[in-house]
């Protein structure tokens, strides 16, 4: 059976949120704050931060990809950054993940983009194997963030 892929719709909210919680658990993150309300606001709202594809083999979505626009100064060119990718455990290795990434690449190319980027945890050997299998290059970057007190200190300093 060939996987299907489409843009997420409001009726997918509960399903996608359940998968976001499962991905967070898989990655041993603190419990996710994602809700159907944050899905509707941040993924489908007028000022959404990310966009979402869902995929499945039968009627119900069993995987999702979150992504946002990205830019490379050196080339200079734009692409899409794959923020999260997840397929339900019992539906893996049936082509759903590849279908999501393929759909993202076609969408990117259709919008004039030239590449996909992503980050993954070093210890996620399964994901690294999947991305390597699909031809991804490991750029060897460290992925950092300013959170909590560091962010508050930066945001609270200066006037611009």
Binding-residue total with ligand COA (CB under 6 A):
20
55, two tokens: 């995929």
Side-chain half-sphere exposure of 130, counting CA atoms within 13 A: 20
Q: Which is nearer to ligand COA, 41 or 98 (CB)?
A: 98
Contact status, residue 92 vs residue 105, Cβ threshold 8 Å: no
**Nearest by Cα to 116 from 147, 72, 155:** 72
81, two tokens: 């950054």
Q: Which residue is nearest to ligand COA (CB)?
A: 97
Q: Which is nearer to ligand COA, 37 or 125 (CB)?
A: 125
Contact segment (CB under 6 A) with ligand COA among 6-14, 67-75, 82-90, 103-111 equals 82-90
Name the site residues for ligand COA (rule: CB under 6 A): 23, 26, 85-87, 92-98, 120, 124, 126-127, 129-130, 133-134
């Amino acid at each position: 059976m060939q996987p299907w892929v489409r843009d997420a719709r409001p009726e997918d909210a509960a399903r996608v949120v359940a998968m976001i919680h499962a991905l967070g658990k898989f990655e041993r993150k603190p419990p996710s704050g994602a809700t159907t309300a944050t899905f509707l606001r941040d993924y489908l709202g007028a000022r959404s931060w990310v966009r979402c594809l869902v995929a499945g083999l039968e009627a119900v979505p069993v995987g999702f990809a979150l992504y946002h626009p990205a830019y490379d100064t050196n080339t200079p060119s734009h692409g899409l950054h794959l923020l999260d990718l997840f397929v339900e455990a019992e539906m893996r290795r049936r082509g759903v993940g590849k279908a999501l990434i393929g759909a993202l690449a076609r969408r990117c190319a259709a919008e004039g983009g030239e590449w996909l980027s992503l980050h993954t945890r070093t210890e996620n050997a399964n994901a690294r194997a999947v991305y390597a299998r699909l031809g991804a290059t490991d750029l060897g970057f460290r992925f950092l963030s300013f959170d909590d007190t560091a962010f508050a200190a930066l945001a609270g300093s200066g006037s611009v």
